[in-house]
Copies of this chain bind each other. A is one copy, B any other.
Amino acid sequence: MSNPPSAPDEHAFRARILEAARTQVRRFGEAKTNVVDIARALGTSHTTIYRHFRTKADIFDALAVAAMQDEQEMASRFVETDGPVTERLEGMVLALHARKRERFATDPEVYGLYRRIMDERPEIIAAYAAAMTGLIARILADGVRRGEMRIDNVEAAAGVVRDAVTVFVHPAHVAAAVAAGLPSERLARNVVRALCAAFQAGVELDGGGDETLKTTARSP
């Protein structure tokens, strides 16, 4: 018997399982992907796969979560960059839209899996939405610090941005927009411009009386 794998090995093997699963889904579709084929592609047994993932559904969930983490990493680059907040927010939204669009065009089977999980796993979506709202809030808080924006309640303002741009980043809407030939980049840019104009001018938002939503970030 071998020693139990170290944590980095464990992490690397999980990543290999996900990559093999992604390849199977890409080639044969979600319905025809099974754990035995994933194991075969890795030169191992399905028992080994089940040591890392309880079920095939868990593997699929993990694929969607990995795609969301990839988006979060991309989005966080706009948080850490320097520069006018309006440009960074616009850049973030357009980059997320472009990434979805690219996935839809080049990887339709995996995109379909992602869409299904968006519909069926609200807790995964809630975690993704919370992480994204947090990134948006950090950009807006930076806008307040830099004196670019007047926002009393940064969390509520981040919620406004998250909700208003959902139509440009939600996979079902992106697919529909591509099919309809909508000029989504221009439309998304207009929405972000309008929200930034509001935050520059100042707007009273309702934080819902939830104290955790309040923030001390204020314009100087």
Contact = CB atoms under 8 A, between A and B. Distances in A.
Copies of the chain in the assembly: 2
Nearest to A168: B163
A156 interface: yes
A105 interface: no
Contacts of A198: 193-195, 197-198, 201
Considering residues A189, A190, A201, A202, which has the most beta carbons from chain B within 10 angstroms of its beta carbon? A190
A106 to B, nearest CB: 22
A180 B205 CA distance: 22
A2 to B, nearest CB: 44
Contacts of A157: 194
Interface stretch (A28-36, A50-58, A171-179): A171-179
Nearest to A202: B197
Contacts of A194: 157, 160, 164, 194-195, 198-199, 203, 205
A166 interface: yes
A186 B159 CA distance: 11
A206 interface: yes
B206 A191 contact: no
A191 B163 contact: yes
Considering residues A172, A188, A198, which has the most beta carbons from chain B within 10 angstroms of its beta carbon? A198
Contacts of A183: 208
Given A201-B200, A202-B197, A163 B180 contact: no
Contacts of A70: none
- CB-CB nearest 10 A-B residue pairs: A201-B201, A164-B164, A197-B203, A197-B198, A194-B198, A198-B198, A166-B167, A190-B205, A160-B194, A160-B190
30 contacts: A119-B172, A122-B179, A125-B176, A156-B190, A159-B187, A159-B190, A160-B190, A160-B194, A163-B164, A163-B167, A163-B168, A163-B190, A164-B164, A164-B167, A166-B173, A167-B170, A186-B208, A193-B198, A193-B204, A193-B205, A194-B203, A194-B205, A195-B195, A195-B198, A197-B198, A197-B201, A197-B202, A198-B198, A200-B201, A201-B201
